[in-house]
Structure 1
């Protein structure tokens, strides 16, 4: 072990060469120190050569920390620049740097600062993964990395495939016995992926089982079961007699007078299984009949193995069974990891973990060549937050910056080899990210290798009282962090810290009612005095502590509102207060308590948004939107809180056809929006149509279940409206972003549900702040690290994490080696609990060092009733350990006695809080202002908006408002088969005329036309119909054949081109067609009267009535195609005009066209195409290039009746040009005839 002593850091004189470690306790100016060292490196202060921003490597562990470092360094350079041009400074370090820079070099220093400010955006300030990516990218040749590697943050899709490949290849080939055992514990591939996810990244972890053991153990278990069956059948009689003779506790084996003994029942079930059963023996029988499972009366003796050979076999058989799942997990880890890596290699993808592994391997394989290249580029490295490192990260930096013999380097390696150095900055007391792979033991090993150690021991953040209180709390134990390698050194304060106080001046009555003897102490310890005879469970303790904290917050804010609670001369505000919690469950409880006292609060967490109730409900919405004809999925969506239907409304959906059809149509509309615009627009439209915002915001209080037990923590959630609305919008954005990478709604839903099982916790998935108002902040301790708050409450730190159930697997360290214990040994369990307690101490340290002025810490004697008496859980917590509580016998009196020494200090107050004192205090009502909207007193102006053809025709007297009304007459039945008498069903002909009508059918027909290449109908048409039928819920057995024949006829129906020639859709190649062309027509101003006048002038139906439209007119053209140099429009219509082809003659089509005002639709389409072609074709002429519009009534199209179902028109050129001008110069309607000079644009998407 390195025995170097720790020296106080002097940043102005710290040597840069070699390896150094700076241990910076909380609040001691770590970032300030790093930025100061950066200034020295820029100037070459201290003897080394000056370095540029690109040469000084600064590494930290999060994107947020990287940005903060960059900003702080920029500000520090700006301050130094000002000093070096002669302006005074209050920065002592910069003043020292200025004074130690010779006068003749100050102008050069000024130039270096100026250059640094100009090039700081190129500075080598990275996250650890960003550093690896930059090195591998810029040094691809040296690292032997493929130049075109693609980086991805989300590898869940590839893991998903790897797990399923393994499940299919390995699990399906298992014997029935082993397969049954595996499925009992891990039922699905998704559960396997979730269980293995952390193990896949544990490259440095030691496994207690080897992958090859699984096959051996499986074969042995099957053989053992077969042998046991035979032995049991042959020898069970002797075992039966033995059990009768034993003094079994609580049972009378072989006697039925007092009821059928449970043990005998297990015996007989085992016998039945041995003779007739398959697979594994009954688990309860194994548990109760094993030698170790026998419970005898006092004085009874357990039989020996020789006396009870069958019971001994059961013991060994039970052990063999328990070994299978751990061995399977290791086998799965090996197989899935191999498949996982192969998939990424095939696609040339790299994840953050891959970056680390690849760079470490490259350094190993390339020897010193790559290390020297990195050292040459970055002679000095400053590694921030080094306590959060892991073995692989340290290995990289240790190999690059290991002690180097200058004579072994090329002369060009670095300009000054003595300046090659590695500076590690961290605080082991704040190592709280083990769940993300951080390894405190790696930090300790690295510290022992460093050549010099320094510390920062002056806290510039907190008040003097708080610093002294934290010193007292941690200094009372000789080993405060359960590791002699992590000592607690007393921290000092500057003189200014004495002025950091909260000034309270309550009224006399308030003082008598609420103040303790030392109410202004910096650290307030609140002991919950609870004397329940059956103990104080976690749920009750959490609620009481929450009430006490909320009461005190209400008291402080009430005083502040009266001008009687101030910080630095200003009243305390709600946002000055933070409540620090471990997780969202604690956050939900305190938020309820604050809401009850009319105190607004906001929760900040590193939790993934996929861990919320909203995510689970959005998954149900997605299923319904993707399959809007599936009523089961619709009912599931309706039952969500996001949709808001109650039982009565769902009953109405089930019982009433009109209600059901209305909802089906609405879901179809949202489904169409998803197809055409994307999933986020569909979800937001759903939210708008169902008034989601107003409904959620009316839910002011988070939900809490009063019947929760200690094991039900995951059932607590924050259900406040703002929180839920924020999560819904966040999920919508993530879905929209991911949709660009995946093909189709099914793939998107699969990805989303995978996130529900195994959320990655990436930055973009973390819960967002739902409000930025003046609110109390509820923050997880992990999220609070590195931050500070004027006042902190830490109410739940004394509540133990559940330790009654062993995690599977166990994680702990054997010396410095991380061990993944899948056997669950007692020794491993003890080590694991010790490390959990050590981390709890570090969490306590982080929490107590966040506040600036005051901290409140709650302590409750959480306990449970056992047969032996009350069992306290406080010894399992960090604060219990520091108070010297080492066992389960602790009482509230013991806690009071152990805090007496602390209570003697002026900086600490210990209060005993009675549960009955938790009355609801509320902030002064004068501060609760009710706001209401000011009445509208003037007319509504017409805003800029986006309109559509549907919007222009919706006010016609005959038009319907249902989606798809432009295609169907909704006065008719949506399914004509419903009108058929039951006796005549067999006589019904399933054809185009009897096919379903309405918006759903219309959307289906359109989709089919979009899914295949017209020229390849022979091979593609059937698949297109099947895919569309699945999506819209049609029966393929009934409809596939008639639909296939129908669509073949549509493709071969002649579209009249002229008297001699026809066009056939079947002849249109992909390069000739554009499907669903989207357009936006700019509108200066469009009035209904002007449009009516123009249409009537050219003989088209008019009569439109709509509000004046300014903005854009949008639309989609079903099909745009080119044929022999002309460009045509085709629009598909699903209208049912009759049950024979005669009903689709030209006269009937013209009537439908006029009735629905389709003429306006194709005139607008023609205008859009006209503008588009003017921009695209240099010699464009309307009469030469514009072909016209075909309106294809699909139900009537057949080659056997030429002209049936086909309507054609080419609007006059003058009409289109005058409409073009009308859209841009509306006031000239009466002078438009013949005016063709205006050329306008069209936006297409």
Structure 2
């Protein structure tokens, strides 16, 4: 905390404040308007907002560290080390979406040798005297280096699109394989690419000690590469008249390409006008180039590994918030409207609270519920450890501990109706499997679909790709298998009549995909085996529990009929084919 005096003194003794030990005691009780206190408050706010680039920039350039090290230090080795460390931390924090607590834990692992930076270049310690007359290097390799004069160039055109993209969601990594997967998550991919471009540009711009030379294209032609963010900023500064400041010098150059005469034919010109000789098509109908193209693309396109969220984003590109599911990320849906009055303090909304509840349940030993009331259960060491770990990980205030424990205890011990006369006296009593992964082929025309008998090996030839996901909770009861998903949505009410339209609007696709995953895992290929072994699905809206709720509040149960399941598979097959053909069979 920025106002803890012991922590303040520790901070003041670092190079970022430069207070000497001999006078440190005089800084023990600084007034709230002291510049040092204001600086700590500002840095704390930036860290809390996870604005690490701005935080590290202020730590370097607004703390006085640079002039102190350059003019008062023996050499610039320590300054180089600090710059290098902050660059490594900025890279790992941006790439992995770390919270401040997680970033500090990562720094501890680096210091203790339990981890090393992920990229080979970031692990290189730079020497301050590694100077040549002219050095040409990538931005990555310039990390930790400085030079009196730095010229930045390149990045005007987009690079080659990688068929495999990685995005980061809630501290995890998600792999996007192929164009369709990338298109479905285009906003997230573009946002992370822009953040990476800005991070690298920041590294490049801070290499210069005296003079920095950068290009500025004041043109109607848009820059499509990584340099566009900086060029936009320079354009805004130019229009505001800021480039006329004494700190800037603008030199116009003629960057037009040389004119080519009509006689300067190139190999690409010749190729564009070439046609194969007619004899190649004698005795056969000339194939349609478009047909050939589509067929080749379909044959050689990479496999897709997609999921509920990606398919939902593809189906509804205008949706601002994706629903909660274990294979992608945990967030709350709906407006943060307080539920009806309850006997406990209302748990705040937000994606971190939802992830906290999910992970606490995942770590709980269900045997601890048996024969124990709430107070005996929460006193169990394993229960205390599970909640303490999840609260630390997601930075949940300790005042919500009792409320969250009551929610989880009631959600897992309350009797639940399973359709008809079936019921279970609490999910904690079931034979269960948590975070179960499924993977099954995207249905294709030549696949033996459900209800069509057994498949031979050739029948399952996979050309389109796979659907992958994680189910929060799978359990067996009375010889039937069920799957359940924890939801932390903030809703006005949680009665079954209120949940029905909410689930239909936000979770129908998830219900279909996960049910198909369960059916495939259980090997159910006909109606008789389906009726005998599959029990249904449950959405448990956790915020309905722990207070004065009615017996059925917060629980949405459904068991689709066998014809409905066949319809799920057919809709997925037809819908995905249509999307693929519309995109030119591109994935």
Higher relative helix content? 1
Q: Same fold (TM over 0.5)?
A: no
Give the TM-score normalised by the residue count of structure 1.
0.23
Give the TM-score normalised by the residue count of structure 2.
0.44
